[in-house]
Structure formats: structure tokens, C-alpha cells
Structure 1
Amino acid sequence: MPIAATAMLCLVLSVSDGDTLKALCDEAALPQNLLTVRLASIDAPESNQAFGRRARQALSGLVLDKMARLECRGNPDRYGRSVCKVMVAPNSCTREPCARTLDAGLAMITLGLAWWEPHFAEEQTPQERGQYEFAEVEAKAKHAGLWRDEDPVAPWNWRQEHPRPR
């Protein structure tokens, strides 16, 4: 069953990696204006992992310096990041106002620069699950992005092999 989301408009200030960004939100929406956001339902390569830099560049190209509608679900993740679906205007829109119709997470999967996380599928609507799963299957078939690699390593496996220093 999908988790109810809280929506807010925020300006994307920076992109940390292929699935994490920082956004400045309206004071009325949040007590602290700066929000660290983890894109919901995807996992992109880590910065030091193959395709990590390309994933960060791609997400930057999609969302950086744009107003985004953040649909945040449930509690923060274990790193304190809000987990949100991030909707922005597509780059093809050159005049304001533009509708925020581009799902940045889905776009990252379509580009072959992120994995869909099916273990979070219950947080998605059936339509979202179908879109994300299809996008990943199609990216694999097209050998897009990280799927060009003969044996791409999922970020969750890479993190097990390369634990963060404490």
C-alpha cells in the first residue's frame, strides 16, 4: 500500500550523488529550510563506484537550480534524509511557467544510471511500480548507461564490499 506523501515546492541547490540532493524549501513547509533528499524508490551508483560520477552529472542536469515538487513519504532514512519523489519541469520547457511533470527518479532509471528498488515497491502506486520496473527492463535491453557494463554491481552490493569508515 503506498505511503501518503507530503508535497512541497523547493529550489534544488546541489546534487551530492545520483540519488541525493539538497533543496531550499519555504519556511512554512519546514522549520529548517534546507532539506537533504534521497530520491524515493531508486539507488544510484555511489560516487566512487563505476558510473557514480555520470549518475551525479545526470541528476544535476535534470534538477539543479530548478523548482521541484517534493512528495516526501514517511520518516527520514537512516542518514536523516527525507525520502521523496522529485518532480521537475523537463529541460525541453523553455518558458515559465512549466508543469513539473518529470519524475527525476524514473528519468535516472530510464537513462540507465540507477536501479529500481523493488523492496520499496509497497511505497509506490501500482502505476509507479509498473513504470519503474519497465524503465529498468528497457534500459537493460538498450544497454543504456551502467547496463553497458558486462556485470554492473548494484550499489547495495558495492556498499557491502566498501563499507564507510566510521
Structure 2
Amino acid sequence: MKKQLFILFLIISNFIISQTFTGNVVGVKDGDTMVILFENKPIAIRLEHIDCPEKNQPFGYKAKKFVSDFCFGKTVVVIGNGKKDRNGRWIGEIFFKNQNLGKELVRNGLAWHFKRYSKSENYADLEMEARKNKRGLWKEKEPIAPWNWRRSKRNKVQNL
């Protein structure tokens, strides 16, 4: 029998203590957020290290489609950091067939390395390579980072 990844976690009042688990991807909300079904419970996962364009932003739909093609309906491994973001989503990396989804998004120019929350040199290098080769959103003359896009939307609402 092949060596399997054992689930090392406890659930205490909906708090996942362990870092690693497997589950089926049952929803893709956008390029960096998906829903994993684990023990018949949906868990929202926000990809660590990256930020994808928003859905109504250039390349937002392409990022979501990439994620759907990569893992929707498939069993994936989630390696979490044990933390939730401000929206209550668990933060972690997702792997399918030993491929890291976040790194593939950055490599293909469909995400930024989210330097505010990540110091990973590997993600930084992948972004520099994608920029240099003008992949995905880096083909644009002046791509707008999602955090700036969200800020501009909030400012417009406040000014109304």
C-alpha cells in the first residue's frame, strides 16, 4: 500500500489545530479562494503567499478558470498555517499531484506574490520570472495590484 498522508488534526469547536489535511474541492470562489469538503463540512481556504486579481478586474476570470481547471472536483492536499484571515477563511497552500496551486498561479502571471503577508523568496522569484516573460497579467501596460484595486473601490464608495 502506498504511503498515505495521514490527517494530523483535531477539531475542537470548529477549530482546526493541525496543518495538513485532504479534501475535495467543491467550489471556486475566485483565483485565491476555494471551498474544500472535509468530513462532509465545507471549509473556505484562502491561498497563502498570493493575491489574485478580483473577479471584475483584468485577468480575474482567467485566474478563477485556471483554479477550476487545476483542482475543481478533485481531491487535494491542504497545508495550512493554522490561521484564519479577517474573513474567516483558513489560510494555506493547496497541492494536486504534487503541484502547488499558488506557485502555478504566480508562474503563469495570474497572481501577485502578496509581499505584505509573505516573505517567500520562491514566490518572489516566480513573480519576477513571470514579469520578465510578460506572462498573463504582466502583458498589461500597467497592471493594478488587487489590494490597490480593492482600495480604489472602497474609496469610490466612501466618496458617494
> In the TM superposition, what is the alpha-carbon distance from 1:157 to its structure 2 partner?
0.1
Does 2:19 match 1:6? yes
Counterparts of 1:84 and 1:133, CA distance in 2: 17
The answer for the alignment partner of 2:145 in structure 1 is 154
Counterparts of 1:108 and 1:16, CA distance in 2: 15
What is the correspondence of 1:91-130 to structure 2 with a 5 Å cutoff?
101-122=98-119, 129-130=120-121
The answer for the alignment partner of 1:80 in structure 2 is 88
Q: Which amino acid aligns with 1:64?
A: F
Q: Deviations over 1:116-138 (max 9, x none)?
A: 0122225xxxxxx2321111001
The answer for the alignment partner of 1:54 in structure 2 is 62
**Structure with more strand by fraction:** 2
Provide the TM-score with structure 1 as the length reference.
0.79
Q: CA 1:141 to 1:5, structure 2 compared with 1: closer, same or farther past 3 Å? A: farther
Counterparts of 1:103 and 1:149, CA distance in 2: 25
Q: Which amino acid aligns with 1:58?
A: F
Give 5+ residue unaligned stretches, structure 1: 28-32, 90-100, 123-128
Paired-residue identity, %: 31
Q: Which amino acid aligns with 1:38?
A: R
4+ residue runs of structure 1 moved beyond 6 angstroms?
Answer: none
> In the TM superposition, what is the alpha-carbon distance from 1:61 to its structure 2 partner?
1.1
Q: CA 1:5 to 1:156, structure 2 compared with 1: closer, same or farther past 3 Å? A: farther
Counterparts of 2:18 and 2:47, CA distance in 1: 13
Q: Which amino acid aligns with 1:104?
A: L
Q: Which amino acid aligns with 1:74?
A: G
Provide the TM-score with structure 2 as the length reference.
0.82
> In the TM superposition, what is the alpha-carbon distance from 1:74 to its structure 2 partner?
2.8
The answer for the alignment partner of 2:30 in structure 1 is 17
> In the TM superposition, what is the alpha-carbon distance from 1:66 to its structure 2 partner?
1.1
Higher RCO (CA < 8 A, seq sep 6+): 1
Q: Which amino acid aligns with 2:30?
A: D
Give the aligned CA root-mean-square deviation in angstroms. 1.9
- Number of matched pairs: 141
> In the TM superposition, what is the alpha-carbon distance from 1:34 to its structure 2 partner?
0.7
Larger radius of gyration: 2
Q: Deviations over 1:9-51 (max 9, x none)?
A: 0100111111000110136xxxxx1101100110000001111
> In the TM superposition, what is the alpha-carbon distance from 1:160 to its structure 2 partner?
0.4
> In the TM superposition, what is the alpha-carbon distance from 1:62 to its structure 2 partner?
1.0
> In the TM superposition, what is the alpha-carbon distance from 1:5 to its structure 2 partner?
6.3
